[in-house]
Structure 1
Amino acid sequence: MADGARYSRALILGASVVSMAAALPGSGLAQTADQQSARATSTPKQAKRKPSKPQADQQVAARAMDAHAQASTTSVQSLDTITVAASKTEERAIDALAPVSVVTLEKIQGLQPNRLSDIFYNVPGVSFQERGDDPSTVINVRGLQDFGRVAVVVDGARQNYQRTGHNANGSFFLDPELVGGVDVVRGPTANIYGSGAIGGVVSFRTKDIEDVLRPGERWGVDMSGSYGTNKDRGLGSVFGGVRATPDVDVFGGAVYRTQGNYKDGSGTEIGNTGNQITSGLMKLTVRPAAGHEVKFGAIFQDDQYNIGQFNRGPVLTAAQRALYQGSSVYASDAKNYTGTITWNYSRPDDRLFDWHMSVYGNRTDNDQTKTYHYSTGGTAFCGAGVYGNNISGCVGDKRGYVLDTIGIDANNTTRFDVGDWRNALTWGLDAFQDDVGTTDSRGNSNITTPSGIRNVSGGFLQLKQNYGTWFEAVSALRYDHYDLHSGSTDAGGDRVSPKITLGVTPVAGFTPYVSYAEGYRAPSITETVISGAHATGGGPAFFTCPDGSIGLFCFLPNPNLRPEIGKNKEAGVNLKYDGIFSAVDSFRGKFNVFRNDVDGYIDLVASTRVATPYGSYSQYYQYQNIAHARIEGFEAETMYDAGAWFVGVSGHLIRGKNTATNIGLATITPRKVVTTAGVRLLDRALTISAQWASFGANNDVPAGYLPSTGYELVNLYLTYQATKDITFTASIDNLLNQYYRPYAIPGSSTDGTTQNDVLFSSPGPGAVYKAGLKIHLGGA
């Protein structure tokens, strides 16, 4: 408790010192016209997604210049980046009346990320529950994850893949080298993005031609390579594009990444953390008429890895099995395909239409072959009296998980004035279908991840109003509907969810706001229809299930499962000042407090334990609506940039409980405080920065969970622009070589011991040294 209070004060003090420095008497607090509130100064015509052709060329040139400006000279004020994530209308993140964060391409390139989670250290409210032996990404926003509670979209395409096991129930595959930028909206403030986003929205943009071509270039190529220790982390990538005509762009890229098994901070090698990842993308952009842009996009990824853990010692006794026993190992080949077609229309002289439509399809196909079985030392081939394992079969047996998602998203903004009120009316429609197919030749996967189809659709109407330079109101209503079908089970529901946000700017640079928003998450197929016995794994069967199968315990379906309703209350303040102590310095800060009350929170609930000849165990497990879950906290994101140096503090304090039991939620990361500081040298050709990330342990967890560890990560980064075409990068991750487990580990549902395949694979890597080189070629 004392430790938590100490670090709480550290976060508040660190953020307060930076913000108070910006507001000292005598500091100019000079704002340029461009740095006034975007909603107060820009006319409706300026907030356009795709202007007419001459202005579009200027914007392309500006984005290209930003993308290729020296990393040491670009601003670290990512909150100045234009985003549409909060309201689907363009505004700077610092001006959005919502908890919005942006990760820019410049930041990503300086970090040399090995996993997607590496780029989110500075984003408050965001954490990850990843396994070292699985390269997929699991995003947790404000303690909410699993089954689509966080809406993840890549170029507008939803990523809904889910596989139930000893892992998070919801993940996706995306190599960070493909990413051109990320927008994060925390909480159901962004309910306009569709059903499910009671935790928030994470929207990825993949690289495009504007990220490679420089002003005046007709074609360009970026080639990158890097190497890292712990162990043999290699990366090679190439991205290139050409403007075939002023109205046609062609862009593409390919990435290859590989690594061996890494060691954690204690020096233990983590099994099966090596992998090989191949990915690529293609984009064709056509501008058939003034203001119109049609983009065809395709992304392909192939992740090859082994998931599961070997034994770590003798397993002859119950104590040894609890301590050392591993799990079955599967050679995995996960292929992810995403195809998108987007149509944008926008012209400064057209206030009736600012149109966006996206049609997409996504397939995740994960084929797995069993290669090792713990109880027989890796020789569990079928035949000659060897029957394998009834959870996962024999060595050589195959299983597969396929999820196909198709969807459409369309919206339009009409702008009009009524007296001194400037109005933007946005309407939208969206729908997607998830088609889950699971095959398992001998194991239990058909039970734990059932097949089925789920259809989700909805629409919204939003009115954004500005009065003068000092008042803004955003009000919205969203309608959601879903239905799902699996076997003989049918379920469905619908709801209208409101949102209202009010903000004022009494003095330039200071904007407080309040917001209330509701979100609606439809139950997933697994939560609704999972049914049958959990196989014994070769041990004794404890129970007979209603369908006649026998196993350790019985999953019960719940066709009456209700959707979750998130009701989020938020208050925040945006701070934006320039020319504070000098003509070139700037300060940006976003602070907010929130409370998200989730009615009907869905969790896996065990029945009362009953006596068996083998001990006392729960016979039934079922996904149920618990009465209430409450998640509340404080978030801050600040940055002061003096030109020659910069410093910022960001992070969160969060707690979450099942209010029916007063027990904490296992998915909470209670404290994250990240301090970033750096200097620019050699006429700003060289940038050196350091990052200290302090995480608190989650000790308030349900019975049977092993708490996460508290830990401190120190990372160092260097970027050197040797010439205008050659950039050298170097970094050290986890400089102190600290051992850490970032999330709580679930226990076994039967004997209470830790699920060792998760325990063994959850520690993060120890110290990693990386160096990289990027070369640009281009011409007219």
Structure 2
Amino acid sequence: MAHAEDENSQVTAAQARLTFNIPAQSLESALKLFARQSGGQLIYGGLDLSPYQAPTVRGSMTYVEALSRLLSSSRIEFRLRDGNVAVLRERPDPSVQESHTLQQVNVVGTFEEERERVYQTPGSAGVVTREQIDRLPPRNTSDVVENVSGVYTSQSRQNPGVSVNVRGMQDFGRVTVMVDGARQNFQKSGHGSNGLVYVDPELLSGVDVFKGPVSTVGGAGSIAGTVNFKTLDADDLLEEGERAGGRLNLNSGDNGYHFAGSLAAAFRPTDNFDMTAAISRKNLGDYERGARGIPDDSPDYMHGVSQFTGQEQWSGLFKTRWRFAPDQSLEFSYVGMRADYSESYQDTSLQDNQRGDNEARTDTLTAHYHQGGGENLLLNLNASLYYTLTRVNEKRWGSNYYDDFAVEYETNTVGGTLTNRSVFPFKRFDLALDYGTEFYYDWTDPQAQSQSDDSQSSSEWFTGATPEGERWVSSVFTEATFQHDDWLKLIAGLRYDWYQIKGDGRIFNGLIPNPEGVRPPYTRMYTNFDVERHAGAFAPKLTLSLSPYRWLEIYASYGEGLRPPAITESLLSGAHVGNMFFYYPNPGLEEERSRNWEIGTNLKWDGLLARGDTLRTKIAWFDSTVENYMVQGAIMTPVDEKQPNGFSGFAFVNLDDDVRFRGLELETDYDAGWVFGGVSYTRMLIDMGKGGYDPFPLGSIYGYPDTVFGDPNGYNGGYVWYVLPPRHRVLANLGVRLFNRKLTLGTQFRYERPTDAQSDAGWVSDSAIDSWRTWDLWARYDLTDNATLRLSVNNLRDTYYTEMNGGSYQVGTGRTVIGGISIRF
């Protein structure tokens, strides 16, 4: 009886109606799309598919109907096995009497399939795969996305958090950074980046990137793009038909790379239910900086060991998925990380001056519901809810400026999405509508407590710069995709974003002398303030794509975006440590508005240089202009009678001039089986304009006295800017597969040339920002089908180089040798 039920389920899987959208292309590429969209498995080995082309397959049909259409123009036939598993073979040529036995090879879920999506998107997309992550084991999360053109990271190696920069923009939500679709909105002010994300590379299955304004999920409140870190699930650990399995990953090396490893397992008792769990451990020590090519004028503290770059962390995840109906499923997941590290607060980039021991903790809970994929082309529904808590506890040791403090920064985010896709197939064209809504709500809760009973230090030095407050952002959107045959695609999107910010605090107004002999000698005067601001705006997007030839796609797009002020930007208060100067809120901050133009092309060649090889290339030119760009500027306080000697205070302000980000991006991948390689190149041009801003955001009781603040011609250092991304960046890799692909050898080359316009932070020396080149080597050997040995050498020539770090630079790691093993069970 059980056997009969099994057969019935297999027949049902093959006869269920599914929705397909496969454009005309090479048969091999089409079959990969078919496997992904159907959820089935194809088995073929030495078949030469390069001579064949596949027709368009679009609409609702069964697994068998769709596969038959794909193969209709070829001499390939198939035999169905186990429901939705198809064995492909070539029909015998009547003129040839020989018979051939074909080796069976699974082709679902390969590296090439994931990368293929980049070159099928009429826009600037990027993908990082698990295989790419494993080649050169990352020391920090920032190493994971460095091979995506136009994407940078700004991170202190002392801190396990990472700030993602896309096309020159970062921090305060300009880039939407997510873990499994859940936003990571943690913010902490300091000398480095403001927005940090804590995620362990050991738990990742890959990373999806989209650059520029997004008119669907993820685009609310951001202007630069989206980055989604995807974590492991059962499909990453189990092959088709497996009920239980997992992966053990172990790495260790020199130069402070003590240990990084993970254990992940999945259990699938039935086809409709699975569970995944993983745990990861990392232990890093202080690393040696590169010693080759040290500039003659660099200070001694930039040589040798980079102190306080050690980290210890634990991470884990748990996921479960239940398909409780043929076209419905529920998923629940938890991802968490704990990290202990030390950090220098005076300057996290160059100086070895310890100021505190920290603990970072992040927890993300996500629930996702899906309905669709059956005969109903009007229903493909996805709904999600998530909660993210990120908390950083700091033990800040005292100095000449302040006593010992216990500080806690906390950001909570609750959000959700609801989207649906409706497809309307017509005779000569298809129309697809994606529409829905998303929202998120942030609230912050900073705490600071002096460890001295008689402390004269102020807790507002810490809680004012990263203030308490609330922010709501919500959005409704729709995107229509019109496709005519296989050569014309028009995508039109429109979203409406709305936000509200609330908070209160107090601002410093001045000092009143106390009578002689009274301590302290002055009484500080403060004024309470409240902020409640809301606004909304529409943001359109339009993309036109033409494919005159199968191998060529040309696209052009225009999109707008809106970024509301962050909690910190609107509610900033308190004072710099030691009361060096004071911070002030700006309730009147205008939201940033971006206009983005882009033109690009996707080139896809098969069999170009050798039989069965593939060459994929994406080239894009972008031009983004941001109005009302927000920076931290020196201001006149409401009680300043005249231009102060030095600074009275700082607040976030809108620049008068537009800020412009332009550039060229190129990504290419080549694979001929025994040899493969790729290049990622970015050319950045950033024009900050003349500057200028309103130096009286809070008004003046003295009639707005003359000031050089805010005048681009009178004071050129009036605002704080983070370090700009390099003008040129190249990352190239080349590899060979030997001994029946058991051994893979590869090398990677990196080059950066900095942008001329640098941070006006005084501690950045010219010697820290020279152009640099590094070489890496890696090797992989498959001992068995389930055991893989890895060896890598990062920075082979032990080159001295620097990396972006918020408002400054940090000297990178010297030569590091790492060995590891991956065991699948």
TM-score (norm 2): 0.77
Q: Deviations over 1:728-779 (max 9, x none)?
A: 1110111111122222774xxxxxxxxxxx66xx2211111000011111xx
Counterpart in the other structure of 2:592: 564
- The residue type equivalent to 2:668 in the other structure is T
Taking a change above 3 Å as real, the CA distance of residues 329 and 45 of structure 1, as seen in their structure-2 partners, is farther
Contact 1:179-1:204 at 8 Å conserved across structures: yes
Instruction: Say if 2:478 is the partner of 1:472.
Output: no
Counterpart in the other structure of 1:657: 687
Instruction: Say if 2:85 is the partner of 1:43.
Output: no
Taking a change above 3 Å as real, the CA distance of residues 172 and 404 of structure 1, as seen in their structure-2 partners, is same
CA distance in 2, matches of 1:506, 1:254: 49
Contact 2:467-2:568 at 8 Å conserved across structures: yes
Q: Deviations over 1:408-461 (max 9, x none)?
A: 011000000344220110101100100100001134111100001111101101
Instruction: Say if 2:53 is the partner of 1:31.
Output: no
CA distance in 1, matches of 2:724, 2:339: 26
Q: Deviations over 1:631-682 (max 9, x none)?
A: 0000000011111101221110001121234999733222111111110001
Counterpart in the other structure of 1:399: 407
Corresponding residue SS for 1:445: helix
Corresponding residue SS for 1:211: helix
Within the candidate set 396, 413, 418, 2:421 is matched to 413
Contact 1:190-1:201 at 8 Å conserved across structures: no
Shift of residue 365, structure 1, vs aligned partner: 1.2
Taking a change above 3 Å as real, the CA distance of residues 595 and 342 of structure 1, as seen in their structure-2 partners, is same
Counterpart in the other structure of 2:748: 691
Within the candidate set 434, 437, 452, 1:426 is matched to 434
Counterpart in the other structure of 1:739: 800
State how many pairs are aligned: 671
Counterpart in the other structure of 1:768: 816
Shift of residue 698, structure 1, vs aligned partner: 2.5
Instruction: Say if 2:774 is the partner of 1:713.
Output: yes
Contact 2:419-2:436 at 8 Å conserved across structures: yes
Contact 1:310-1:374 at 8 Å conserved across structures: no
Instruction: Say if 2:378 is the partner of 1:352.
Output: yes
Deviates more, 1:266-275 or 1:665-674: 665-674
Shift of residue 33, structure 1, vs aligned partner: 6.3
Structure number with higher relative contact order (C-alpha < 8 Å, ≥ 6 residues apart): 1
CA distance in 1, matches of 2:732, 2:333: 37
- The residue type equivalent to 1:644 in the other structure is W
Taking a change above 3 Å as real, the CA distance of residues 763 and 47 of structure 1, as seen in their structure-2 partners, is farther
Note the aligned Cα RMSD (angstroms): 3.2
Deviates more, 1:289-298 or 1:442-451: 442-451
Counterpart in the other structure of 1:449: 466
Corresponding residue SS for 1:423: strand
Taking a change above 3 Å as real, the CA distance of residues 194 and 309 of structure 1, as seen in their structure-2 partners, is closer
- The residue type equivalent to 2:159 in the other structure is D
Corresponding residue SS for 1:735: coil
Corresponding residue SS for 2:324: coil
Taking a change above 3 Å as real, the CA distance of residues 36 and 655 of structure 1, as seen in their structure-2 partners, is farther
1:299-338 matches, cutoff 5 A: 299-308=335-344, 327=353, 329-338=355-364
Shift of residue 575, structure 1, vs aligned partner: 0.6
Taking a change above 3 Å as real, the CA distance of residues 608 and 310 of structure 1, as seen in their structure-2 partners, is closer
Taking a change above 3 Å as real, the CA distance of residues 328 and 688 of structure 1, as seen in their structure-2 partners, is closer
Within the candidate set 197, 209, 213, 2:238 is matched to 213
Contact 1:633-1:652 at 8 Å conserved across structures: yes
1:141-540 matches, cutoff 5 A: 141-189=166-214, 192-266=217-291, 268-308=304-344, 327=353, 329-370=355-396, 372-375=397-400, 389-390=401-402, 393-394=403-404, 397-442=405-450, 443=459, 444-487=461-504, 488-536=530-578
Counterpart in the other structure of 1:587: 615
Contact 1:654-1:670 at 8 Å conserved across structures: yes
Taking a change above 3 Å as real, the CA distance of residues 307 and 535 of structure 1, as seen in their structure-2 partners, is closer
- The residue type equivalent to 1:741 in the other structure is T
- The residue type equivalent to 1:604 in the other structure is Q
Q: Deviations over 1:165-217 (max 9, x none)?
A: 11101011000011111111111145642323211100111000111112332
Instruction: Say if 2:765 is the partner of 1:675.
Output: no
Contact 2:444-2:468 at 8 Å conserved across structures: yes
Corresponding residue SS for 1:667: coil
Gaps of 5+ in 1: 1-28, 62-67, 81-91, 313-322, 376-388, 537-550, 747-757
- The residue type equivalent to 2:314 in the other structure is T
Counterpart in the other structure of 1:127: 152
Q: Deviations over 1:380-415 (max 9, x none)?
A: xxxxxxxxx43xx32xx3110111101101100000
Contact 1:482-1:493 at 8 Å conserved across structures: yes
- The residue type equivalent to 1:726 in the other structure is A
Taking a change above 3 Å as real, the CA distance of residues 186 and 369 of structure 1, as seen in their structure-2 partners, is same
Deviates more, 1:727-736 or 1:117-126: 117-126
CA distance in 1, matches of 2:680, 2:788: 28
Corresponding residue SS for 2:673: coil
- The residue type equivalent to 2:231 in the other structure is T
Shift of residue 617, structure 1, vs aligned partner: 1.4
Contact 2:213-2:219 at 8 Å conserved across structures: no
- The residue type equivalent to 2:781 in the other structure is Y
TM-score (norm 1): 0.81
Within the candidate set 574, 577, 601, 2:602 is matched to 574
CA distance in 2, matches of 1:196, 1:667: 22
CA distance in 2, matches of 1:110, 1:57: 36
Shift of residue 364, structure 1, vs aligned partner: 0.4
Shift of residue 358, structure 1, vs aligned partner: 0.9
Taking a change above 3 Å as real, the CA distance of residues 202 and 245 of structure 1, as seen in their structure-2 partners, is same
Corresponding residue SS for 1:210: helix
Contact 1:497-1:518 at 8 Å conserved across structures: yes
Deviates more, 1:398-407 or 1:245-254: 245-254
Taking a change above 3 Å as real, the CA distance of residues 59 and 733 of structure 1, as seen in their structure-2 partners, is farther
Deviates more, 1:193-202 or 1:460-469: 193-202
Corresponding residue SS for 2:325: coil
Counterpart in the other structure of 1:317: none
CA distance in 2, matches of 1:144, 1:232: 31
Shift of residue 119, structure 1, vs aligned partner: 2.1
Shift of residue 246, structure 1, vs aligned partner: 2.1
Shift of residue 616, structure 1, vs aligned partner: 4.2
CA distance in 1, matches of 2:781, 2:739: 9
Contact 2:219-2:226 at 8 Å conserved across structures: no
Shift of residue 256, structure 1, vs aligned partner: 0.4
Taking a change above 3 Å as real, the CA distance of residues 447 and 241 of structure 1, as seen in their structure-2 partners, is same
Counterpart in the other structure of 2:124: 99
Taking a change above 3 Å as real, the CA distance of residues 204 and 30 of structure 1, as seen in their structure-2 partners, is closer
Q: Deviations over 1:590-627 (max 9, x none)?
A: 10001000011111112489999xx9412221111113
- The residue type equivalent to 1:630 in the other structure is R
Contact 2:192-2:805 at 8 Å conserved across structures: no
Corresponding residue SS for 2:542: strand
Q: Deviations over 1:484-512 (max 9, x none)?
A: 11112111110000000000000111000
- The residue type equivalent to 1:408 in the other structure is G
Once the two structures are aligned, what percentage of the paired residues are identical? Answer: 29
CA distance in 2, matches of 1:154, 1:60: 35
Within the candidate set 652, 655, 680, 1:623 is matched to 652
Say which one has the larger Rg.
2
Corresponding residue SS for 2:144: helix
- The residue type equivalent to 1:308 in the other structure is S
Gaps of 5+ in 2: 1-23, 35-54, 67-79, 88-104, 292-302, 451-458, 505-529, 692-711
